[in-house]
Amino acid sequence: MSRGYHSSWTVPEEHRADESYIEAGAAIALGQAVYDRRTALGIDQAALAERAALSMEDIERIEGGGIAPTLQLMRALALALDAKLDVSIDTEETQLSFVPRAA
């Protein structure tokens, strides 16, 4: 049975506390949250880029986990996605989710 292109892997415990690992996790969490909210709104990357005053390449990089979150970026995205942003930061993990604003 073919497993496709993706394989399973585990991050060694000693790397989990590494600052670059933690920051990469935050960037991936932001990217997933942006993608989830954008698709829930039914808008494409170009529309989100326009709403957030960013380039489409920026949105692609954000959704791909290639841009570390900053407060300014998270604020711009929350406004553009008509949502509030819930952030949970733990020792080794960052969780982000965009929550739709009440109508």
Q: Which of 85, 88, 81 is nearest to 97 (CA)?
A: 85
pTM comes to 0.78
Give the number of other CB atoms < 10 A from CB of residue 80: 23
Q: What is the pLDDT of residue 11?
A: 44
> What is the Cα–Cα distance from 101 to 13, expressed in whole angstroms?
38
pLDDT of residue 20: 73
Tell me the pLDDT tens digit for each residue of 23-77: 788 889 999 999 999 999 999 999 999 999 999 999 999 999 999 888 999 999 9
Burial, 61: exposed, middle or buried (Cβ in 10 Å; 0-12, 13-18, 19+)?
middle
Q: How far apart are CA 18 and CA 11, in angstroms?
A: 11
